[in-house]
Each structure stands twice: as structure tokens, then as C-alpha cells.
């Protein structure tokens, strides 16, 4: 195949960089590659951003270093990448799941007056995940590094910069910084001035591109604006009106598309923009598959055995509150996990089921919160590594009235980035690419009896 017939999507996550090369016409995957990132563990979760580009180069080589006509990068949201005047990292990048800036989040809310004022300003209430809180942390704790600050970009922006040499972002990822407003489509300089009013912020932050704009060229290929991982995933699964996505990665997320911006003063729903010109109200939890993996390791079983155990358990056993490494929604950054209802006769199967129930109930709480900001009368689409779990699939289906579908997209973020690359290359609507490639299909799932687990979970959560 020639470069004119290929496009590429990149997924730069907390754990790895993945590359997916697709045929422009049919959408068929013709090559792929993956390379790991350094392991991180909250509360301090940091990586050298240069390791991301090294992982991209390794993944690209694994895919055969193809010649493509267009490429786009989807990256983990929120992280803070600070560069000096030579475009070199001033410090290690703080990732979304780093919670060391939780005090700064509280301080920033106080400076503006209330959570509701922040929601009105930028659609979201700042938590430790947001870039603005991390900037406040750096200003407060590392004055020498702060004095060297020349650029602030997001993880996907950094990789796009390494491809093009320019400094750009997109509205989807910008909406997760805490200083760009989806409602007005503009930066809020007054909010950045809360961190440091002496910084010339318009010279520091990247230009926000439109959904059809080009960021530049790389080896002759058009580089699309890219976006945050959740925005790219929405493209990759062919998210339609009325549908919601429930994502089971290291963290969990529930999101849907909307024609109007959201502003939730409680902070549960983040009022993000999407990658197409619309909006993406989203609820994020810090603990998803990593909780299941931790319990699986304790039980000494592989993934298939864990699913067999969880599905064999009858409802009514113990329940897990899965705030293992602090929680983002509800905002409890110092929290740890809890187990309720333990008895001496508890079985391994009940313990496995308790972990699945806890993770799923946390995300279903998010789905409930989302109902106020999006009309959810379609399907609930499951994505992410944890969505491959038979236990997760069937427990979700048993606890919601929506039709539950497991997406056929193996790498939703990379696929969504490829969709954007194709749309920008052809200057056509993203939906046209999704339909041409046959995205949006999935496997319908039947549920298992959940008993009163949601009520018991809510009682434990509210203690």
C-alpha cells in the first residue's frame, strides 16, 4: 500500500504508547505496535515526557515504520508538561493520577469563591487531576523550576510538538486543563493568573486548533490536532446520540456526547468539549481495572479464573469500596479501600465478585450523574481492557436498564485518533469515516443477578 492509502492513530496512555495503522478507504488495520512507559504509582505519578516519544518511536518501528498520509495522537488527559526556552522538560511530567496537588485544588476553589463559580467558568470543578492544580503545585513547591517555565503543554500536545515542531492543542484536551472554557471556546487568563499573575500566559500555552485544522506535517504526513484519550475513544467506538461509554482502564470513565456544554457545581460531571465541535460530559473514577488486578493477584488466579470465580458467586457476599489509591469521583484523594460484610465463611468467589461489584457500582454512580447532562436513551458501550472481562460485562448488564454492548474496537483511543487523521486529511465529517469503516458495532451482553448490591454499595460509600 502507498502512503496515500494509509492513516495512523496513536494512543499515548499512562502505561504505554500504541500505534494503529489503517487503510484509509476500508479502515482495516494493516499494522500496529506498542511500547511501555515507566511504571507509576500514585500519589506521586510522574514520567519523563521524552520516554513517551521514545515509546512512540519503538511502537512505530514495530509497526514497520510505514509511510502514511495522516497521523493523529490521542493522549492521557490533564497531565502537566513544562518546557524551558529550549523546549526541554523542566521537570518530570505530572500525570492525571498524581494527587500531590490536592491541596492546590482546594486553594484554587477558595480563590475563585466556590465550586459553582469554577463550573460556570470552565465547565468543571478543579481536582488534583487537572493541569491548573499541578501548575499551582509546581509554583508553590519548586520555584527554581518555575522560573525556567517557557511552555506548558499536555501529553498529547508534547507528542504532536515532537512530530511537527509547533505548539498546538485541541478543544477536547484543552477543556481538561481547568483554564480553557468550552462554553466560550477561549482561555481564561484570570484563572491562570491565580497561579502566577507575572507569567505572560498567552505566550506559554498552545494554540487551540479546531476539529478540522492541521497541526503541521511529519515526514510528509498531515498531523491532525489530536485530542485527549476519552475524546479519541468516543470517535473510535462510533459513539452516537443517546449512547454512553463506560471505560474500564486503569481508571474508569463514563461519558456521552451533548450539543450543549455542561457545568456541574458538584464536580461529579466534568464539562469537557469533544474532538468534533460538540461536548463530552464525563465522570472519571481513579480505580477500575487496577482494583480487579490487585484482588486477582491476592487470589493467585489469572484473568479467566477470576471471571469464573466472580460469576460463580451468589449475590449477598461482601462488598468492596474500591478507593484503593484515593478517589477522584467522589473527590477523596486521601481515601483507601474498604471491605464490608466480611465473615469467616467468605469464599474466594465472593471476594472476586465483591471487587467487580465495587468497581462497577462506582461507574454506575457516574452514569446516574451523567443523566442530568445528556439524554441517555441508547446503548451503554463498554470499552477498555477491563471490558473484556466476562464478569465485568455481565455485572454491568445486570445492574443497568440500558442495553449493554461490548465495543468491537480493540484499541478505541488509537482507532479514534486514526478516525480524526482521516477526517482532517479528507476534510470530511468524522461520522462519515466511522460509517465507512463500520465502527460502532459490538456484542450485546446479558446480565447476572445483582441483588441489592447498589443499595449496599451506596450505604458503604456514604459512611
**Is 246 found in the same domain as 186?**
no
302 and 212 housed in the same domain: no
**How many percent of the chain have pLDDT more than 90?**
90
Distance (Å, rounded) from C-alpha 338 to C-alpha 323?
8
* 419: in domain: no
Cα(274)–Cα(259) distance, integer angstroms: 10
Residue 414 falls within a domain, yes or no? no
Three-state DSSP at 279 gives strand
Co-location of 365 and 301 in the same domain: yes
Give the pLDDT score at 315: 79
| Chosen domain end from 228, 257, 275 | 228
All three cell numbers of 439, joined, read: 465502527
Q: Given 199, 228, 257, which residue is the final one in a domain?
A: 228
Task: Report the pLDDT averaged over residues 223-238.
Answer: 96
Portion of the chain with pLDDT greater than 70, in percent: 99
In a domain, 451, yes or no: yes
Q: What is the pLDDT of residue 3?
A: 65
- Assigned domain for 293 exists: yes
Instruction: Render pLDDT for 126-184 as a digit per residue (tens, 0 to 9).
Output: 999 999 999 999 999 999 999 999 999 999 999 999 999 999 999 999 999 999 999 99
Residues 6 or more apart whose Cβ sits within 8 Å of residue 37: 13, 14, 15, 16, 17, 47, 51, 52, 55
- pLDDT band for 313, please (50, 70, 90 cuts): very high
- On whether both 394 and 268 belong to a single domain, the answer is yes
CATH number at residue 391: 3.30.420.40
What mean pLDDT is reported for the chain?
A: 95
Q: Are residues 52 and 113 in the same domain?
A: yes
| Residue 141: domain span | 3-228
> Residue 316: its pLDDT value, please?
83
Task: Check if the beta carbon of residue 75 is closer than 8 Å to that of residue 154.
Answer: yes
214, 208, 211, 173: which is closest to 70 by C-alpha? Answer: 214
Lookup: cell for 455: 443499595
Domain membership flag for residue 139 = yes
Clarify whether residues 278 and 161 are in a common domain. Answer: no
Same-domain check for residues 244 and 222: no
What pLDDT does residue 384 have?
A: 87
> How large is the average pLDDT for residues 233-250?
92
- Tell whether 422 is covered by a domain: no
Residue where a domain terminates, one of 228, 256, 291 = 228
Note whether 398 and 448 are within 8 A (CB): yes
- DSSP string for residues in 124-192: S---TTSHHHHHHHHHHH-HHHHHT--EEE-HHHHHHHHHHSS-EEEHHHHTTSSSEETTTTEE-HHHH
Number of folded domains that form the chain: 2
42 in a domain, yes or no?
Answer: yes
pTM above 0.75, yes or no: yes
Query: Is residue 41 over pLDDT 90?
Result: no
At 246-260, the pLDDT tens digits run 999 888 999 999 999
Catalytic residue numbers read 229
441 pLDDT band, cuts 50/70/90, is confident
What pLDDT, on a 0 to 100 scale, did the predictor assign at position 360? Answer: 97
Q: Do 102 and 248 share a structural domain? A: no
Which cell numbers in the block locate residue 432? Answer: 462519515
Residue 42 has pLDDT above 90, yes or no: no
For residues 280 and 285, what is the distance between their CA atoms, to the nearest angstrom? 16
- Give the model confidence (pLDDT) of 1-38 as tens digits: 666 799 999 999 999 999 999 999 999 999 999 999 99
**Do 275 and 388 have their domain in common?**
yes
* Contacting residues for 174 by C-beta, under 8 A, at least 6 apart: 154, 180, 187, 208, 273
Q: Cα–Cα distance between 283 and 304 in angstroms, integer?
A: 29
Residues 34 and 102 in one domain: yes
The torsion angles phi and psi of 153, rounded to 5 degrees, stand at: -135, 170
421 within some domain: no
* DSSP 8-class letter at 44: B
Same domain, 447 and 390: yes
User: Is there a single domain that holds both residue 353 and residue 263?
Assistant: yes
Looking at residue 37, its pLDDT comes to: 96
Amino acid at each position: 500500500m502507498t502512503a496515500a492509502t494509509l492513516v495512523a492513530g496513536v494512543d499515548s496512555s499512562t502505561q504505554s504508547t500504541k500505534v494503529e495503522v489503517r487503510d484509509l478507504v476500508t479502515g482495516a488495520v494493516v499494522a500496529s505496535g506498542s511500547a511501555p512507559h515507566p511504571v507509576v504509582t500514585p500519589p506521586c505519578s510522574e514520567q519523563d515526557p521524552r520516554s513517551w516519544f521514545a515509546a512512540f518511536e519503538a511502537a512505530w518501528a514495530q509497526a514497520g515504520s510505514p509511510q502514511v498520509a495522516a497521523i493523529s495522537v490521542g493522549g492521557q488527559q490533564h497531565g502537566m508538561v513544562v518546557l524551558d526556552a529550549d523546549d526541554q522538560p523542566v521537570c518530570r511530567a505530572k500525570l492525571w493520577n498524581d494527587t500531590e496537588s490536592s491541596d492546590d485544588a482546594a486553594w484554587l476553589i477558595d480563590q475563585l469563591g466556590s465550586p459553582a463559580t469554577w463550573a460556570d467558568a470552565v465547565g468543571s470543578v478543579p481536582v488534583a487531576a487537572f493541569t491548573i492544580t499541578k501548575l499551582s503545585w509546581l509554583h508553590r513547591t519548586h520555584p527554581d523550576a518555575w522560573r525556567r517555565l517557557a511552555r506548558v503543554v499536555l501529553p498529547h500536545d508534547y507528542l504532536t510538538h515532537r512530530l511537527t515542531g509547533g505548539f498546538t492543542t485541541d478543544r477536547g484536551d484543552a477543556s481538561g486543563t481547568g483554564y480553557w472554557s468550552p462554553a466560550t471556546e477561549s482561555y481564561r487568563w484570570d484563572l491562570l493568573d491565580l497561579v502566577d499573575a507575572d507569567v505572560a500566559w498567552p505566550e506559554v500555552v498552545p494554540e487551540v486548533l479546531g476539529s478540522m485544522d492541521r497541526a503541521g506535517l511529519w515526514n510528509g504526513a498531515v498531523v491532525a490536532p489530536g485530542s485527549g484519550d476519552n475524546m479519541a475513544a468516543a470517535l473510535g467506538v462510533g459513539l452516537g446520540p443517546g449512547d454512553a461509554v463506560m471505560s474500564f482502564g486503569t481508571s474508569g470513565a463514563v461519558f456521552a456526547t451533548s450539543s450543549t456544554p455542561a457545568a456541574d457545581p458538584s464536580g461529579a460531571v466534568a464539562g469537557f468539549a469533544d474532538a468534533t465541535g460538540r461536548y463530552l460530559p464525563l465522570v472519571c473514577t481513579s480505580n477500575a481495572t487496577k482494583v480487579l488486578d490487585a484482588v486477582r493477584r491476592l487470589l493467585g488466579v489469572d484473568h479467566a479464573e477470576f471471571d469464573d470465580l466472580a460469576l460463580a458467586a451468589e449475590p449477598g457476599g461482601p462488598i468492596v469500596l474500591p478507593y484503593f489509591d484515593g478517589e477522584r469521583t467522589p473527590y477523596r484523594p486521601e481515601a483507601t479501600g474498604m471491605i464490608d460484610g466480611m465473615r469467616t465463611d467468605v469464599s474466594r468467589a465472593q471476594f472476586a465478585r465483591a471487587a467487580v461489584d465495587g468497581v462497577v457500582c462506582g461507574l454506575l454512580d457516574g452514569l446516574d450523574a451523567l443523566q442530568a447532562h445528556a439524554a441517555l436513551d441508547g446503548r451503554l458501550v463498554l470499552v477498555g481492557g477491563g471490558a473484556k472481562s466476562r464478569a465485568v460485562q455481565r455485572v454491568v448488564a445486570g445492574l443497568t436498564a440500558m442495553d449493554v454492548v461490548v465495543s468491537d474496537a480493540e484499541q478505541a483511543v488509537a482507532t479514534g485518533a486514526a478516525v480524526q487523521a482521516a477526517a482532517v486529511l479528507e476534510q470530511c465529517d468524522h461520522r462519515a469515516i466511522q460509517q465507512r469503516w463500520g465502527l460502532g458495532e459490538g456484542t450485546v451482553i446479558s446480565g447476572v443477578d445483582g441483588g441489592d448490591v447498589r443499595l449496599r454499595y451506596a450505604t458503604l460509600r456514604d459512611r
